[in-house]
Structure 1
Amino acid sequence: MLILHRERGVEEDSLLWDYQRIIAAVRQATGPVMAREVGEVVGADVSVRAKLEPLRSKLVRLVDRGWLRKLPDGRFTTLL
């Protein structure tokens, strides 16, 4: 599994570099962020919506594995 579930003993540095950068971008934001804002921080091409979808997919995987939280309005935030 490329993205481990967040649980006791599993540290962020065990994730692939791309995912670590995404978490860091969400963490450094002043509040919940949209995928486009994360893309701007990590250097992804955000000019076309279709190019943003792979990043959004990674964000959702991080949510599914317990690393991030997705709010009802589609923005992402850290758990803590």
Structure 2
Amino acid sequence: MQERQWITARRSELDALAEELAKQLQEVQAERDELAIVERVLNRPDEQARADAGALAPVFEGHVHALRTLGGVPRSKVRYDCEDDRVPLRAVA
């Protein structure tokens, strides 16, 4: 008879422990999710900087090619994408 009471009591202790551990597991998972979100927010500036650098790479390569080909910085008849087509080309002194 004592063995059965002990088994019942121990089972009750283990059930309570299982409930407590399940609650702790949920809290840990929620905190891990929050940390993942914070990490993504913190990485955004780095990702944006890499994207910006990647967007400028073709422009930089074009400048390097022009410098190698022309032997220096062109001083006249240079048009950039940002210039208005209605404005005539002018030499830069």
- TM-score band w.r.t. shorter chain: under 0.3
- Greater Rg, structure 1 or structure 2? 2
TM-score (norm. length: structure 1): 0.22
TM-score (norm. length: structure 2): 0.20
More strand by share: 1
Higher relative contact order (CA 8 A, sep 6+): 1
